């Protein structure tokens, strides 16, 4: 069973953003599944690196989307993205040491993703839809 199940609460109704969020969920679930692999260090590092690059690309696209819709809260939202990138980077560095905090990293990724999508990203997409109406 995947660690994060995709559900309606995570679906925002924007095809590009939803596809990218699904990609992030897939990477989190892949990372979780790899914790049982015999070569888990290499597998998890591969997933973390992919996740880091994918998240940066997603944030870039989301911030361009905010520019297009004239989102008034972009600066604060973008600052939350930066915080995520920095925290992920720090935890990734820690995963190179002996006491790799894989559980802490996964807990952080899952909690951050669910919270951010269901509040910040939901608000952004709702603003875009209201503007179109
Ligand atoms: Fe966001
Ligand atoms: Fe997002």
Assigned CATH class of 16-132? mainly alpha
Between the CA of 126 and the centroid of ligand 2 the distance, in Å, is 13
Q: What is this structure's pTM?
A: 0.89
Burial zone of 25 (CB within 10 Å; 0-12 exposed, 13-18 middle, 19+ buried)? buried
Q: How many residues does the chain have?
A: 133
Per-residue pLDDT tens over the stretch 56-111:
999 999 999 999 999 999 999 999 999 999 988 888 887 777 677 888 889 999 99
Between the CA of 78 and the centroid of ligand 1 the distance, in Å, is 7
Residue 128 neighbours by CB under 8 Å, 6+ apart: 14, 65, 69, 71
Between the CA of 114 and the centroid of ligand 2 the distance, in Å, is 10
Do 58 and 24 contact (CB within 8 A), yes or no? yes
Angle at 126 between CA 58 and CA 15, to 5 degrees: 45
Between the CA of 61 and the centroid of ligand 1 the distance, in Å, is 10
């Amino acid at each position: 069973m995947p660690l994060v199940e995709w559900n309606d609460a995570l679906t925002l109704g924007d095809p590009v953003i939803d596809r990218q969020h699904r990609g992030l969920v897939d990477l989190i679930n892949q990372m979780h599944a790899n914790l049982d692999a015999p070569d888990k260090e290499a597998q998890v590092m591969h997933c973390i690196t992919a996740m880091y690059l994918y998240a940066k690309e997603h944030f870039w696209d989301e911030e361009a989307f905010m520019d297009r819709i004239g989102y008034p809260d972009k600066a604060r939202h973008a600052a939350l993205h930066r915080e995520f990138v920095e925290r992920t980077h720090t935890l990734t560095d820690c995963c190179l040491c002996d006491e790799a905090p894989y559980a802490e990293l996964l807990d952080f990724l899952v909690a951050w993703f669910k919270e951010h999508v269901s509040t910040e990203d939901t608000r952004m997409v709702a603003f875009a839809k209201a503007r179109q109406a």
